[in-house]
A and B are shown apart, each in its own frame.
Chain A
Amino acid sequence: MTRANAAILLDHYTHIITSVRDRLYRLALRVVNDADDAEDVVQDVLVKSWRQREKIVCLDNPPAWLLRMTKHQAIDRLRSAKVRSARETEAAASDRDARTPYRIAAANDALGHVHRLLQQLPPDQRTVLHLREVEGMEYQEIADATGLTMQQVKTYLHRGRHKLRALLLKEKITNP
């Protein structure tokens, strides 16, 4: 590879990463529910993606590939005994936890409650909801980013929304 080609490749890769980094972080945060862990997940994904930069820049949809990698990496991390244990402790804790990822939301009782309700959903359901509601992605994009089928995406989204509404109504949460 000539130096000029290497420079173009680097520019392209940097542009992709810059445009998608916040989304990767939010997704990782959604899955692992811890700011530090989410940062580590993104870091790992970026390191791995750097090693495959030549392949990534040639993909049709690099962000989908990176999001899928982030989801897998985050789920792997979540499954590790250490993190699982920490999450269980956190789930049992009250609002006091200062390291909750959505600090702004947690500062607000109603939003903090929504966050905790959302964390009760299975990771796949949570991920699909996140990609649709927070990232505003189309069904096909979500399917590409998660490795799920379109039908699974629709089903998870439907179930997730219903479950959240049911929990909200059950707890009679109101925005102050």
Chain B
Amino acid sequence: MMKHSEAEILLHRYFEGETSLDEEMRLREYFRAGDVRPDLAELDPLFAYWDEAASIVAPPVKKAAVRRRLPVRWLSAAAAAVLLLFVAGNWFSQQSDLTEPSIAQAEAETIDWSKYEVTDPKEAYKVLRTALGTASAEMNRSARITVKEISAARNALR
């Protein structure tokens, strides 16, 4: 058992940083024993604290959470395939949208001319005159435009 006077000397050297590990261990034991001189008791919590701190142990190793890595390559391939199917589907859909209605439209627009067939001879004559009149008027108009353009060209050349 260390004497109080010896403890005092060791403490002095301890704070000067002159003690060995063995001497520091003996000081620790002195304070641990509990019979500390009253004027040294102020340092009791310090040595008690080092003992407590030394008793701490690391918590058990946590089992590492299994990080399941996503199969990025497979997912990319699957995503590409899905995208391709979607685009292709969309394209075919558009194509059929374009085709089917036009056929339907063509079918729908087939005109039943028989309904408009002129059976009355007077009516037929009237339609024919109108048609010929329209054609004649358009031909005369074209001729007038042509004559007018030729005259303008001649005037320009004079």
Contacts and interface: CB of A to CB of B under 8 A. Distances in A.
- Interface SS of chain B: helix, strand, loop or mixed? helix
A141 B41 CA distance: 31
Contact of A29 (B24, B46, B56): B56
23 contacts: A22-B57, A25-B59, A30-B53, A39-B62, A102-B52, A110-B45, A110-B48, A111-B45, A114-B45, A118-B49, A130-B53, A134-B53, A135-B54, A136-B21, A136-B25, A136-B54, A158-B17, A161-B15, A165-B15, A165-B43, A165-B46, A169-B42, A175-B45
B61 to A, nearest CB: 8
Nearest to B64: A43
Interface string A102-127: 10110000110111001000000000
A30 B14 CA distance: 22
A175 B53 contact: no
A158 to B, nearest CB: 4
B16 interface: yes
A105 B17 contact: no
Contact of B41 (A115, A165, A175): A175
User: In the complex, which range does the number of interface residues on chain B fall in?
Assistant: 20 to 34
Given A138-B21, A157-B17, A161-B17, A111 B42 contact: no
B50 interface: yes
A29 B57 CA distance: 11
Given A25-B57, A157-B17, A165-B15, A111 B52 contact: yes
Contacts of A175: 41, 44-45, 48
Interface of A: 21-22, 24-26, 29-30, 35, 39, 42, 101-102, 104-105, 110-111, 113-115, 118, 130, 132-136, 138, 154, 157-158, 161-162, 164-165, 168-169, 172-175
B58 A25 contact: yes
A111 B53 CA distance: 10
Nearest to B31: A175
B52 A105 contact: yes
B69 to A, nearest CB: 17
A143 to B, nearest CB: 14
Contact of B49 (A25, A114, A174): A114
A18 to B, nearest CB: 10
A114 B46 contact: yes
A65 to B, nearest CB: 18
B56 A102 contact: yes
Interface in B42-87: 42-46, 48-50, 52-59, 62
A102 B53 CA distance: 7
A117 to B, nearest CB: 9
Nearest to A111: B49
B48 A111 contact: yes
Contacts of B43: 165, 168
Contact of B46 (A104, A136, A138, A168): A168
A173 B42 contact: yes
Contacts of B16: 158
